[in-house]
Amino acid sequence: MGREYPAHPLVGVGAVVLRGNSILLVKRGAPPGKGRWSVPGGLVEVGEAPEEAAVRELAEETGLRGVARGLFGVYQYVERDEAGRVRYHFLLLDYLVDIEGGDLKPSTDADDAAFVPLTRALEMDLTETTRQLIVDLTRYGPTPLRRC
């Protein structure tokens, strides 16, 4: 099953990495959201635990190694084409991740990566789900819904 026009929603993950009042964002190099900023993330692979997928995607996109400490939130992204058909449908599990090492360097489908102050991030060209995540972070703080 491909990402475009899926038969069922696809499960994706995001790595929410905070440094003080800043959040790690990547500039997406592939659709959906190409050219927009989001938390590092991608699809869960078959047989993979979601928190493991979040840590793997973080390493692949940024070169940073981390450990998931809990689920922050669950988001949904649905995009329809001109005819009203669902082009993309993702259920996104965003995990708070603590960095354990590595050097920040964008790779795979990330064109750029940076730690950005939360207040400034809201002024950037963000994906819809990342914007909602940052609003939730500023409203509720970085408290996990569930520990890993």
Domain-embedded: residue 44: yes
d(CA 134, CA 139) in angstroms, rounded, equals 8
Domain-embedded: residue 5: no
**Whether pLDDT at 146 is above 70:** no
d(CA 138, CA 7) in angstroms, rounded, equals 35
Say what the pLDDT of residue 67 is.
98
Domain-embedded: residue 50: yes
Domain-embedded: residue 146: no
Domain-embedded: residue 3: no
Each residue's pLDDT tens digit, 19-53 = 999 999 999 998 888 999 999 999 999 999 999 99
Domain-embedded: residue 145: no
Q: At 147, is the pLDDT very low, low, confident or very high (cuts 50, 70, 90)?
A: low
Domain-embedded: residue 103: yes
Strands 37-38 and 22-28, how do they pair?
antiparallel
Mean residue pLDDT of the chain comes to 94
Q: Please give the tally of structural domains in the chain.
A: 1
Q: At 109, is the pLDDT very low, low, confident or very high (cuts 50, 70, 90)?
A: confident
d(CA 63, CA 40) in angstroms, rounded, equals 11
Mean pLDDT throughout 82-109?
A: 96
Domain span including residue 33: 10-140
CATH number at residue 132: 3.90.79.10
Domain-embedded: residue 125: yes
The CA-based dihedral angle spanning residues 61, 65, 70, 74, taken in that order and rounded to the nearest 10 degrees:
0
